[in-house]
Chain A
Amino acid sequence: MKHRTLTYLMCLTLAYAIMATNSMLAQQPFELTDEALTWPDNEPAPCQPVPTERQLAWNETEFYAFFHYGMNTYTGKEWGNGDEKESIFAPTAAPNPRQWLEAVKAAGMKGGIAVVKHHDGFCLWPTATTTHNVSGAGNAYGRATNIPRDFAAAAQALGMKYGFYVSPWDRNSAFYGEDNYVTDVFLRQCLELAEYGSDQFEMWFDGANGGTGYYGGRNANVSVDASIYYDIPNLRARVHQIAPNCVMWGVGGEARWIGNEQGWAGETNWAMADRGGSFTGMYGQEQGWIWLPGESDAKATSGGWFWHNGETVLSAERLFQMYLETVGRNATLILNCPPDKSGALPQATVNRLAELGKMLGQRLGKDLAPAAHIEVSETRTAGAARNYEAANMTDADKDTYWAANDGTTAATITLTWDTPQTIRYLQLMEFIRKGQRIKRFHVEYATDGSTWKPLATTCETTTVGYKRIIPLNGSTSSSYGNGYQAKALRISIDDSRACPLLSSLSVF
């Protein structure tokens, strides 16, 4: 009793002491302090906002696959209503995520995202959260299916990144729209999926916010306030406890939808946006308050997101165009390849993916820049342990970069070769760890090394970001062409938010 009183009195005394101190100080005006950082390496100050470590790693995945497989493969629908019987799911062979991933790896993709629960609510793993899952499938192959387990294992064996699409909107669930859907169903599903691999790189949260559906027999039209219903801040914190590198896409708030499903991003494309406000997915916002890079989801087949009988695969040239207009425009590309009823990718898809991989290797494989002599109009003064020389752009080290001095927002970079090179593509990568800066640039070449002519005049050579690939003839649909004979190539950065930083420059 006495002890507690003493403790209480000590607390009070301390509290009063704090308040008294506050009172004494409070009559003083506010004084600024001289607190400052020093930069022994003369590093440029970050141009805010900047990406998180997780977002940086995610951006490096660049090009990966989407696999829409599930109940809709067997009903032929794009959006199931949620009342499909589990027994309809009856693969004609054991679904083979390894085959999917091997095929897309041949296309040059570095990872994949498997749909494990679409809007119809059917889960492709034996979840504890609902009976609407593979345990009730129509045959042995179906009942033995566990896509997240097999997909994760295959990706790990192939050295590829992986993640899952789990639809927040659930037209089967009796709880969708209710207060406890997120805590009792959706979040638990996300956590079960996170357990399949702590090295997941992305979780895909489709933005659909409700509508009509079966809803456990309610057969109602349920709508939700998508901005708060999924309790994203806490869901994100919880998933990151298990899978710290998992970027939560879309509604998840760490990467944004590029704004269309045709496989293109704006030529001007900022990785920043006013999350929570309004912005256009294709272009981002130069003044956006948070780093929110764009991902472009596109279909490699003609039928839809899920496999449909009679569908065809897009041509390699068209897929290459998508690549140029997404990966080549500061966005990542998630290209959908739907498995068919056998749970495998059709041979036509596999063939096309290999063709695309060959095309990428042929067109963007041989970098001519390292053999060139590079001159820049300005080089940032080196620091104690770091320099900012032009050679940093061709040293294949993503952590080194060329930089100009503070206050310089325009610069030129000139590459010269002893003999004329046939050039078709220019690729630039900013050191985005310090923010996205370049606003405008233009490109010229000289066959004889001194008579300059412009290139890519029909392109909007504005932003760069993580990666910008310019087809030098200005066309993404027929970019290969004859190329240009160049003894010299000149890139002029015309304007930048702060001193420009380029970690990589390649010429193909």
Chain B
Amino acid sequence: MKRYILTALAATTLTAAAQTINFDTDDFGSIGVYDAWEASPFRTGQLKGNAAVVANPCTATDPVLGYPPNTSARVLAVQRSRFGSNTFGVRIDLKEPFRLTKQTRYLHVMTYLADKPAPSRLMAIGLGRRVEDEWSWQTGQDEQFWALSTSDVEPSDQWQDVVLGFKGFSYATDQEPAKGIDIYSLVLVPDVRSPHADAADFACYFDQLLIDSNPARRFSSERYPVNFDRAQTPTRTDRHLDKVGLSNSNAGTTQEAGGLAGLIYNDKTQSAVFSAKPGHTVRPTFGYTGVWMSAYVYVDWGNDGTFSYDLAADMKPAQGSDLVSYNAYMPEATWYKSDGTTVNNGNQIANGVPSFTVPAATAPGFYRMRYKVDWNNIDPGGNTSEANHIVSNGGGITDVLLDVHTDVVRVSDQQLNGAVLTADGQELNNFEAPYGQPFAIKMQPAPGFGYKGITVRYGYRLEGEAVVGDNPQYLTATFTAADFDDNDCLTLPASIMVGGTMQIEGLFTEDARKPLKGDTISNLGQLSNAKAYLIHALSQEGYLVWNTSVSDRYVSLRGVTNTSYQGLPSDARVATIYQQRIDPFDASTSWQILQKDGNYYLRNVGNSLYVTLSDRDYVFTDAATPLAQIRANAAGETIDGSTISLAGTFSILGAGGDDKHYACICTGTTPQGVRNWTFNDHGSPFYITENPNLSVTDPFLADGIRPATALIPHDNATYLLTGQRISRPVHKGLYIRQGRLFMKK
């Protein structure tokens, strides 16, 4: 009813000019709620919904922008109901419909979502109809497009600007009779999550709707903004930025960061650190697939969150400009590059960019450096014109850190329960290590302590936050005990000997062989060839084991998909063992500890294996000579002077109630099955004893010894000391029956 009256006042349909809707003036029609869900209580009339034009809840200055982005007095508000669907929102009936076009147009909308419970995407739905006569049966409320934001919108106590693209199949707008699709209402869905778990409704605010052809946000309180969605993937395969680098002739170094082709924007500030000293002349490099593009480089010398790009009259960067180098820019009729010379055209990407000099007065620190491939545009966020948009042109932006440094890194350690020293025993108290060179250190635990690794922080201002203003101040690297050699030494790689200061925290613990809380690997994809892993037994989850080239069983984390994981190399090591019963087991999480090539592994033995692990000593046997033994501790150190030549792969299952009883499986070319071995302090040979904690079935043992039978207390079979089952003892000597030794005289 209301709408009918207002359309009587309306003018003709707008063409594809920009259209604005704000709520200070009455340039909108009516408002209400809408739900695309056909069974919604808001459609059946059970619920009415709550939407209104109200006072602006936030006219404050945005601390990052430095100005208030929305000073309207009135804005649109809707109560996002937990009884609606995930496509529930506020409906704005337009004063004048607008025609959809084949070219993408963009709805810009400011939104204030302080009370939204979680980050989620926004959506705009257009309601309309076809304009031709044969479609006059349509009411104008058929859904015509669904424009979903490509990334989540965070809850925030500041106004944000969101851009949503849409299009439709319409013909020329001046065609007679008229043909096309008109949009009569816009629905703004503030939260595309399912509301089923939400405990309460929350208020959502919208304002300043603008429909035009510009995909860029009107403002962004992000630092170092880009003029497109940060999650944007390439839209073409013939052009993409692959790597960036820095060539430093003074230092004689070339550094690179690659792997960029999957995204238009790459933030590599957590991993790529390029180095230069004040006064160095450096040349940025680009690895780019494609032609007819140009390159631009920026460094935020002022560390203020933006890249300024002022040029002097001679087209070189102005004094203090963050634009440090570019190879093609034509503001009017001539193409220039940043050294002030001219070039023929913008097709310069293959020719590199001019060098620039790090100002001599630059204070040491990490500076954000931006590499951009684009067309004729010095805006660090990228070209946004429809004809030459950076995304459709196949450009790319990558941010790295530029470390403006001195000759040394000052290294200190934390000195808690032990010290970290240089490899030759010197204290680390602002020790001046040479910048960019590998650095050897040594662990010195206090008496009664061991260590499980180190945490290294390196960069600048280590006492503050790791990231300030979107820029890393320092980075962090970790190393575990397994990375240290037998002398407790480790060489820190050159790649982390950057920045101005380094702090090493030795992770010293009482008796490293005791159970330690280690890293939990939550998915198989995190297994790294370069690290050792802790066997971490939590009650129901977290057994970490892996496939070896010997065993054909696989890693399983309880509760995670049982999948085969191939390829962990044979020198992956276990750093420590837990003193905790891994219990309960099922078929895919029964494990035994293997040793191969001096390293420890776990191997699945099949069903119903209960393994007791000990942090104390473990025993290994050689498949070929089962009576030989070695006693070693959890760290792999040999004790008692006993040695054994390891001719095959063998494994221990774990310890029994004391440190003298172990169960082992011998594998290899002569499978021997499971036995219980006891070792006493004087190096006597092993003999089988009973361990009531063990019962094993192992489908992977070849025929021969049936392992379980050797351990079942009531088994009446007789075994040789080798574990071989025999029908009856013939010769004099030692035999095993019912898990106990007996002598035939």
Q: Is the CB of B79 within 8 A of A33?
A: yes
Q: Which residues of B contact A50 (CB under 8 A)?
A: 37, 39, 85
**Per-position binary interface string of chain B over residues 73-100, scored 1 when its CB falls under 8 Å from any chain A CB and 0 otherwise:** 1100101011101110000000000000
Distance to closest chain A CB from B47 (angstroms) = 5
Say whether A49 contacts B86, CB under 8 Å: yes
Could you say which residues of chain B place their CB within 8 Å of the CB of A458? 562
Which residues of B in the span 124-143 have a Cβ within 8 Å of any Cβ on A?
A: 129-130, 132, 135, 137-138, 142-143
Contact A228 B102 (CB under 8 A): yes
Q: Mask for A315-328, Cβ within 8 A of B = 1, else 0? A: 00000000000000
**B144, closest chain A residue (CB):** A233
A1-48 interface (Cβ within 8 A of B): 11, 14-15, 18-19, 22, 25-30, 32-33, 35-37, 44-48
* Cβ 8 A contact of B86, one of A48, A183, A457: A48
Q: How far is the CA of A377 from the CA of B181 in the complex (A)?
A: 54
Closest to A14 in B: B5
B55 part of interface (Cβ distance < 8 Å) = yes
Flag if A53 contacts B38 (CB, 8 Å): yes
CA distance A413 to B8 in the complex (A): 63
- Whether the Cβ atoms of B561 and A231 lie closer than 8 Å is no
What string of 1s and 0s marks CB contacts (under 8 Å) between B214-245 and chain A?
00000000000000000000000000000000
For residue B568, give the distance in angstroms from its CB to the closest CB of chain A: 21
Stretch at the interface among B195-203, B375-383, B412-420: B195-203
Q: Which single member of A25, A36, A183, A233 contacts B54 (CB below 8 Å)?
A: A25
Instruction: Choose from B129, B192, B196, B203 the contact partner of A32 (Cβ within 8 Å).
Output: B203
Residues of B within 8 A of A52 (CB): 38
Judge if A274 is at the interface, Cβ distance under 8 Å. Answer: yes
Q: Give the contacting residue for A15; candidates B5, B171, B561; CB below 8 A.
A: B5
Question: A11-B8, A35-B47 in contact; A22/B26 too (CB < 8 A)?
Answer: yes
CA distance A440 to B560 in the complex (A): 9
The chain B residue sitting closest to A474, CB to CB, is B562
Contacts of B48 in A (CB 8 A): 35
> B203 contacts which chain A residues (CB < 8 A)?
30, 32
B residues near A37, Cβ cutoff 8 Å? 41, 46-47, 83
The answer to the question of A314 belonging to the interface, with a C-beta cut-off of 8 Å to chain B, is: no
Per-position contact with A for B350-386: 1 when CB-CB < 8 Å, else 0? 0000000000000000000000000000000000000
Distance in angstroms between the alpha carbons of A15 and B144 in the assembled complex? 29
Instruction: Decide if A453 touches B54 in the complex (CB within 8 Å).
Output: no
Task: Tell whether, in the assembled complex, residue B587 and residue A462 are in contact, meaning their CB atoms are under 8 Å apart.
Answer: no
A30–B138 CA distance with the chains assembled, in angstroms: 34
CB distance from B378 to the nearest CB of A (A): 32
A498 at the interface (CB under 8 A from B): yes
What per-residue 1/0 map shows which CB atoms of A212-243 lie under 8 Å from chain B? Answer: 00000000000001011111011001000100
Instruction: Tell whether A435 is near chain B: CB-to-CB under 8 Å.
Output: yes
Residue on A nearest B2 in the bound complex, by CB: A18
Distance in angstroms from A272 CB to nearest chain B CB is 10
Interface pair B588/A47, CB less than 8 Å apart: no
- Among residues of A, the one whose C-beta sits closest to the C-beta of B86 is A48
Tell me if B587 and A233 are in contact (CB < 8 A): no
Complex Cα spacing A47 to B73, Å: 37
Q: Point out the residue from B55, B181, B194, B559 that lies within 8 Å of A435, measured CB to CB.
A: B194
Which A residues are in CB contact (< 8 Å) with B9? 11, 15
Q: How far is the CB of B675 from chain A (nearest CB, A)?
A: 26
Check B50 against A33 for contact (C-beta < 8 Å): yes
Q: How far is the CA of A25 from the CA of B53 in the complex (A)?
A: 7
Q: Is the CB of B562 within 8 A of A457?
A: yes
**Considering only CB atoms and an 8 Å cut-off, how many residues of chain A contact the other chain?**
57
Say yes or no: is B167 at the interface (Cβ < 8 Å to chain A): yes
Within B95-124, which residues are at the interface with A (CB < 8 Å)? 102, 121, 123
Assess the A30–B5 pair: CB atoms within 8 A.
no
Partner of B85, one of A18, A46, A231: A46
The answer to whether B37 and A48 have CB atoms under 8 Å apart is: yes
Q: Which residues of A are found within 8 Å of B49, using beta-carbon distances?
A: 35
Asked if A179 is at the interface of the complex by the 8 Å CB criterion, the answer is yes
Nearest A residue (CB) for B197: A498
Q: How many CB-defined contacts (below 8 Å) exist between A and B?
A: 145
A453, B587: Cβ atoms under 8 Å? Answer: yes
Check if B148 sits within 8 Å of A498, measured CB to CB: no
Q: Beyond A11-B8, A35-B47, is A30–B196 a contact (Cβ under 8 Å)?
A: no
Is B301 among interface residues, defined by CB-CB distance under 8 A? no
Is the CB–CB distance between B77 and A30 below 8 Å? Answer: yes
Q: Is B6 an interface residue (CB 8 A)?
A: yes
> Closest B-chain residue to A494, C-beta based?
B559
B47 with A234: CB separation less than 8 A: no
With A32-B201, A36-B83 as known contacts, state yes or no: A25 contacts B148, CB within 8 Å. Answer: no
- Check: A469 CB closer than 8 A to any chain B CB: no
Contacts A37-B41, A50-B37 known; A289 to B562 CB distance under 8 Å?
no
B145 an interface residue at 8 Å Cβ cutoff? yes
Most B CB within 10 A of own CB, among A50, A289, A497: A289
Let me know if B586 is at the binding interface, CB within 8 A: yes
Residue among B137, B194, B559 making CB contact with A48, cutoff 8 Å:
B194
A374 to B201, CA, bound (A): 39
Contacts of B171 in A (CB 8 A): 179
Q: Does B439 contact A (CB under 8 A)?
A: no
Question: Which of these, A183, A227, A237, contacts B132 with CB under 8 Å?
Answer: A183
Confirm or deny: A454 has a beta carbon within 8 angstroms of a beta carbon on chain B.
yes
Residues 551-586 of chain B, each 1 if its beta carbon lies under 8 Å from chain A, else 0: 000000001011000000000000000000000001
Cβ–Cβ contact B57 & A30, under 8 A:
yes
Q: Is B741 an interface residue (CB 8 A)?
A: no
Asked whether A45 lies within 8 Å of B196 as measured between CB atoms, the reply is yes
- Of residues B52, B169, B195, which shows the largest number of chain A Cβ atoms within 10 Å of its Cβ? B169
The answer to whether residues A234 and B142 also contact, given A49-B194, A454-B588 and a CB cut-off of 8 A, is yes
A277 is an interface residue with CB less than 8 A from chain B: yes
Q: How far is the CA of A25 from the CA of B23 in the complex (A)?
A: 12
Note all chain B residues with C-beta closer than 8 A to A277: 148, 150
User: What is the bound-complex CA distance between A274 and B152, given in angstroms?
Assistant: 14
Given A11-B9, A46-B196, A228-B102, do A457 and B205 touch, yes or no (CB 8 Å)? no
A45 to B84, CA, bound (A): 10
B130 — which chain A residues lie within 8 A by C-beta? 231, 234
Judge if A182 is at the interface, Cβ distance under 8 Å.
yes
> Cβ of B196 and Cβ of A289 under 8 Å apart?
no
- Complex alpha-carbon distance, A497 and B6, angstroms: 45
Residue in A closest to B84 when the chains form the complex, CB atoms: A48
Q: Report chain B residues within 8 Å CB of A98.
A: none
Q: How far is the CB of B133 from chain A (nearest CB, A)?
A: 12
Give the contacting residue for B181; candidates A26, A30, A225, A234; CB below 8 A: A234
B306 contacts chain A at the CB level, 8 A cutoff: no
| Residue A77 at the chain B interface, CB threshold 8 Å | no
- Bound Cα distance A435, B135 (Å): 34
Partner of A233, one of B82, B102, B142: B142
- Report B224 CB to chain A, min CB distance, Å: 26
- Asked whether B5 lies within 8 Å of A11 as measured between CB atoms, the reply is yes
A276 interface residue, CB < 8 Å from B?
yes
Docked complex Cα distance between A33 and B80 (Å)? 11
B54 with A26: CB separation less than 8 A: yes
B150 closest partner in A (C-beta): A277
Task: Give chain B residues whose Cβ lies under 8 Å from the Cβ of A22.
Answer: 26, 53
Contact of A47 among B23, B77, B196 (CB under 8 A): B196
Cβ of B346 to closest chain A Cβ, rounded Å: 28
Q: List 14 A-B contacts (CB under 8 A).
A: A26-B55, A27-B73, A35-B49, A37-B47, A45-B82, A45-B195, A46-B194, A48-B196, A179-B171, A231-B169, A234-B135, A234-B138, A453-B607, A454-B588
Given contacts A47-B196, A289-B148, A457-B587, 8 further A-B contacts (CB under 8 A): A11-B5, A11-B9, A26-B73, A44-B196, A182-B169, A231-B181, A287-B193, A290-B87
- Which A residues contact B (CB, under 8 angstroms)? 11, 14-15, 18-19, 22, 25-30, 32-33, 35-37, 44-50, 52-53, 179, 182-183, 225, 227-231, 233-234, 237, 241, 274-277, 287, 289-290, 435, 440, 453-454, 457-458, 460, 462, 494, 497-498
Q: 4 nearest interchain CB pairs? A: A48-B194, A30-B77, A48-B86, A26-B74
